[in-house]
Amino acid sequence: MAVEKRVRNIAELAELAGVTAGTVSRALSGKGFISEKTRERIRALAEEHKFRPNVLAQKLRNQRTGAINVVIPLGHERGQHISDPFFMAMLGRLADELTERGYELILTRVVPDNADWLSQIVSSGRSDGVILIGQSTEAATLDRVAAVYPPMVAWGGHYAGQRHCSVGTDNIIGGKLAARRLIDQGCRQIAFFGDPSSIEIAQRLEGCQEALAEAGVGGALKVVPAPLAEEENAAEIDLFFEREAPPDGVVAASDVIAVNTLFALARRGVPVPEKVKVVGYDDLPIATRTTPRLTTIRQDISAGAARLIDCLFRRMAGEETAAVVMAPQLIVRESA
Same domain for 242 and 286?
yes
Residue 333 domain-assigned (yes or no): no
Q: What is the pLDDT of residue 3?
A: 46
Does 59 fall in a domain? Answer: no
What was the pLDDT predicted at 259? Answer: 96
Question: Residue 116 burial by CB count (10 A; 0-12/13-18/19+): exposed, middle or buried?
Answer: exposed
Q: Does residue 257 sit in the same domain as residue 318? A: no
Q: What is the pLDDT of residues 70-121, one digit of tens each?
A: 999 886 666 667 778 888 899 999 999 898 888 999 998 888 888 889 999 9
Task: Based on the fold, state whether residues 224 and 118 are members of the same structural domain.
Answer: no
- Angle (deg, nearest 10), helices 10-17 and 21-29: 100
Residue 325: per-residue pLDDT: 96
> Is 174's pLDDT higher than 90?
yes
Residues 6+ apart with CB under 8 A from 201: 171, 194, 195, 228, 253
Is the pLDDT reported for residue 285 higher than 50? yes
- Report yes or no on 214 lying in a domain: yes
Q: Please check whether residue 334 lies inside any domain of the structure.
A: no
The model carries a pTM of: 0.78
Residue 62 within any structural domain of the chain? no
Say if residue 147 is in the same domain as residue 179.
no
pLDDT digits (tens, 9 = 90+) for 32-84: 567 888 888 888 888 888 776 655 455 545 567 889 999 998 866 666 677 78
Q: Is the peptide bond prior to 225 cis by the omega test (within 30 degrees of 0)? A: no
- C-alpha distances (whole Å) from 321 to each of 3, 68, 90, 262 are 57, 18, 21, 40
Number of separate domains in the chain: 3
Which domain range does residue 130 map to? Answer: 67-169+301-326
pLDDT surpassing 80 at residue 328: yes
- Pairwise CA distance, residues 204 & 196, whole Å: 8
Q: Are residues 46 and 18 in the same domain?
A: yes
Calpha distance 279→293 (Å, rounded) = 10
CB-based contact 290:257 (threshold 8 Å): no
Report the pLDDT averaged over residues 316-322: 91
